[in-house]
């Protein structure tokens, strides 16, 4: 198995929304905001190569939404998902599987692209890939609550179903050895975490349960979370396992560090070491 991270950020999100009830006087020490209260974040994806399979975990925001929508997030940023996959040494036709941890626009937007210069036809970005998501998350996204309606965009979703490339992780086996899928409900319904056995270590791609090293303290949950107390309990559960098992945590939104190790301290579980994925393996 081979692993590579690719980052299709940066983009910006409101600091208050990213840290919930944590005061700005605290979170701005690690994630300074601009004059609009926006902080820089990554959109980090993971490439997993195993045998003749190449799985992409998450797809970033893509590039097909209107300029006004993207202006809220300081996008576009000059990067493209397909360009970053190619920079990692692959063709977009090499991707056999796309695992969407959840269907918020900054994770699923790149899953679908325009296929014509006039921007009238949409299709899955990776023509040879099976797209995977938990059916509970799919159903939630197709019937969103008012709280999440603005992030579940039909143009990111319907072409996956219409193409016949969509599969549900809770109904079909993905078939990649060393990869386990874990499901959590605090951030949104049935978000998928990927747990990977690699180079004698356990890695956890944390999705939006722990989006950055700054979110490792258990009370630091996002205003975007639909069930914040559940998110706190889930974080604590997996952080405890990460300490006991010396797991490498990989973060989708951390603008400064791809990954970290954690340890128990008098203040609770905190970051022990952070850096690139290669540095921590």
Is the pLDDT at 173 greater than 90, yes or no?
no
Decide: 48 and 95 in contact? Cβ < 8 Å.
no
Mean pLDDT across the chain, nearest whole number? 97
Decide: 228 and 239 in contact? Cβ < 8 Å.
no
The average pLDDT across 164-182 equals 95
Using pLDDT thresholds of 50, 70 and 90, give the confidence band for residue 117. Answer: confident
- DSSP state, residue 166: E
Residue with tokens 């992409």: 56
Using pLDDT thresholds of 50, 70 and 90, give the confidence band for residue 8. Answer: very high
What is the C-alpha to C-alpha distance for residues 29 and 17, in angstroms, rounded to an integer? 16
Is the pLDDT at 119 greater than 90, yes or no?
no
Q: pLDDT digits over 221-233, tens only?
A: 999 999 999 999 9
Burial of 182 (0-12, 13-18, 19+ CB in 10 A): middle
Best CA proximity match to 187, nearest among 150, 225, 149: 225
Helix (H, G, I), strand (E, B) or coil at 128: coil
Long-range contacts at 120-123 (CB < 8 A, ≥ 24 apart): 122/64, 122/155, 122/159, 123/159, 123/163
Percent of the chain with pLDDT over 90: 97
pLDDT of residue 240: 98
Using pLDDT thresholds of 50, 70 and 90, give the confidence band for residue 194. Answer: very high
Q: pLDDT digits over 59-85, tens only?
A: 999 999 999 999 999 999 999 999 999
Q: Which CATH number fits domain 2-280: 3.40.190.10, 3.30.1130.10, 3.40.50.1010, 3.60.15.10?
A: 3.60.15.10
Transcribe 193-236 into DSSP letters: EEEEEETTEEEEE-TTTS-SGGG-STT---TT-SSHHHHHHHHH
Using pLDDT thresholds of 50, 70 and 90, give the confidence band for residue 118. Answer: confident
Break the chain into its structural domains and give their ranges.
2-280
- This prediction has a pTM of 0.96
């Amino acid at each position: 198995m081979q692993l590579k991270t690719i980052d299709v950020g940066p983009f910006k999100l409101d600091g208050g929304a990213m840290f919930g009830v944590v005061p700005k006087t605290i979170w701005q020490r690690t994630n300074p905001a601009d004059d609009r209260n926006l902080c820089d974040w990554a959109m980090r994806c993971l490439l997993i190569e195993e045998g003749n399979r190449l799985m992409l975990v998450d797809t970033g925001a893509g590039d097909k939404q209107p300029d006004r929508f993207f202006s809220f997030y300081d996008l576009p940023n000059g990067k493209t998902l397909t360009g970053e996959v190619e920079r990692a040494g692959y063709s977009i036709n090499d991707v056999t599987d796309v695992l969407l941890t959840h269907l918020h626009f900054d994770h699923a937007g790149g899953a679908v692209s325009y296929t014509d210069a006039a921007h009238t036809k949409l299709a899955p970005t990776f023509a040879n890939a099976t797209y995977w998501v938990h059916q509970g998350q799919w159903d939630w996204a197709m019937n969103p609550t008012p709280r999440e309606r603005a992030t579940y965009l039909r143009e990111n979703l319907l072409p996956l179903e219409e193409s016949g490339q969509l599969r549900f992780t809770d109904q079909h086996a993905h078939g990649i050895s060393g990869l386990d899928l874990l499901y959590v409900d605090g951030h949104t319904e049935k978000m998928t975490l990927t747990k990977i056995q690699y180079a004698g270590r356990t890695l956890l791609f944390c999705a939006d349960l722990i989006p950055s090293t700054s979110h490792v303290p258990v009370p630091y949950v996002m205003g975007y979370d639909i069930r914040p107390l559940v998110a706190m309990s889930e974080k604590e559960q997996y952080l405890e396992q990460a300490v006991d098992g010396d797991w490498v945590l990989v973060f989708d939104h951390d603008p400064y560090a791809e990954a970290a190790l954690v340890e128990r301290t008098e203040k609770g579980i905190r970051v022990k070491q952070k850096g690139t994925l290669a540095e921590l393996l």
